[in-house]
Chains A and B, each alone.
Chain A
Amino acid sequence: MSQILPKKNLKQLLSNWAASYEIYAPQQLEKFAHFMPTNGSELLYIDEQHNTRFPPKALFLPQSETLMKYTRFGAAQETIPESKPRIVFGIRPCDAKAVDLLNLMFLTEKDSDPYYQARRKKTALIGIGCNIPCPSCFCTTVESGPFGRQGMDALLTDLEDIYLVRTLTQTGKTLFAEYPEATEAQEAEAKAVQQRSLKLIDPAFETKGLKAKLDSNFENALWQKFADSCLGCGICTFLCPTCFCFDIADEAQRKERVRNWDTCMFRTYSLEASQHNPRPTRRERTRQRVMHKFSYWLDHVNKIGCTGCGRCVRYCPVGLDIRAMLREFNQLEAEVANG
């Protein structure tokens, strides 16, 4: 069923892959983990038991990317990225699931996004499970888990000296073709590790009925309460692995049309040319962020737009905690709708 990758072979494996793939893996940037290109010679930073600070969605939807180059005469040349096949190594289950969720937004039947598609189609995701989840993680609450497999081609479980590799797709099988099968004892050990980890994560809030609570409390005073502390910066949305909003702008000096991540937390996000702003204060903006993830996503694709990675909780400079916010909504009586 599973295979064995001795940790000491990892470098060799990565450099073998590097011949035909571009590889991205977490490495140390300043003092935190960050996805960067590697050919196997760099020191990886995956043993620390938490996530990269910057979400790997940027490998599929870069923070800034050129959509097209244009000339003075109105002709535009699209700039669809071309690259070798890619491997993202060491992605955590929450982030891999987030990429899968982004597929639903960008690889649509009508108007599929060619830029995202070009990157996504060429990329294999090799994930690694979390043996010791952080207290800010809540993946199990939102239909994922520390060893969730959604979106991955293979999932690694860290067992001291070896990784137990569970291949999940044909691509995954090909990549790990030469590695031996795991013994039953190793399988059992991995299972124990996984279950121990699972037990460490407490459910953060109830998701059943949450959407109805949010929908019926659109005008609730709680939104103002949360917005009071909110600074209005873009940390929660930029570091979120599922937030995908973008802005399209022309960089006249480079003669390029670009798209940049945008965030509903900024005033300019919904500001119209007439200076009318449908979301004039932090209250509406905070509400938009939470509603989008826990209500509108469900309307659109019947999935919660959150994978419980906990980044917005960990890095919010004012300690606004989406888990606490949602719990407060859950505690509201159903009948005080629109209070």
Chain B
Amino acid sequence: MIDHKPKIILFQCQWCLYSAEDQTWVDTQLPVNIHLVKVPCTGRINTLYVLNAVQGGADGVMISGCLPEQCHFKEGNLGARRQLDQFADFLDHIGYERNRVRFTWLDLQDRGRIQRDLAQFEADLTKMPKSEALATRVGGHHD
């Protein structure tokens, strides 16, 4: 159990939130323990970004993107899905638990889902111990 709120890095595809309210919420009202990294497409998320988050002490990484056939760039999400999913499995292989990386693929009618998913993710992470595997830069300076 962690005694403070888990640190979550949210990689968000800038096209995946269809409702302006959701996007505004993400842009302005995210809780302080959730760090937003906005990307032009999930396909832009290099595995090094995820690793950087994990090494920086993220308790969880959430990736939100578009569903198949809805990608702004046609197939960015397909590539991302294969790579990032495999990367999460790979991190699990060396000790960073698989359920610390979560995907939400959002649909047109998924209004408000990002908030619910983040809340659920946070609740799940709170039940887990603090992420120490791979968190090599914890205690270092973070802005």
Contact = CB atoms under 8 A, between A and B. Distances in A.
A254 B55 CA distance: 13
Contacts of A254: 137, 140-141
A254 B136 CA distance: 11
A253 interface: yes
B135 to A, nearest CB: 13
Contacts of B142: 253
A253 to B, nearest CB: 5
A255 interface: yes
Interface in B116-143: 137, 140-142
A255 B141 CA distance: 8
Contacts of A253: 137, 140-142
Q: Is the interface of B mostly helix, strand, loop or mixed?
A: loop
A59 to B, nearest CB: 24
Interface string A225-253: 00000000000000000000000000001
Nearest to A256: B140
B55 to A, nearest CB: 10
Contacts of B141: 253-255
Nearest to B137: A253
A229 B84 CA distance: 37
B49 to A, nearest CB: 15
A28 B141 CA distance: 36
A53 B76 CA distance: 47
Nearest to B142: A253
Interface string A312-338: 000000000000000000000000000
B79 to A, nearest CB: 29
Contacts of A255: 141
8 contacts: A253-B137, A253-B140, A253-B141, A253-B142, A254-B137, A254-B140, A254-B141, A255-B141
Interface of A: 253-255
Interface of B: 137, 140-142
Nearest first, the 8 closest Cβ-Cβ pairs linking A and B are A253-B140, A254-B140, A253-B137, A255-B141, A253-B141, A254-B141, A253-B142, A254-B137
Given A253-B141, A254-B141, A255-B141, 5 more contacts: A253-B137, A253-B140, A253-B142, A254-B137, A254-B140
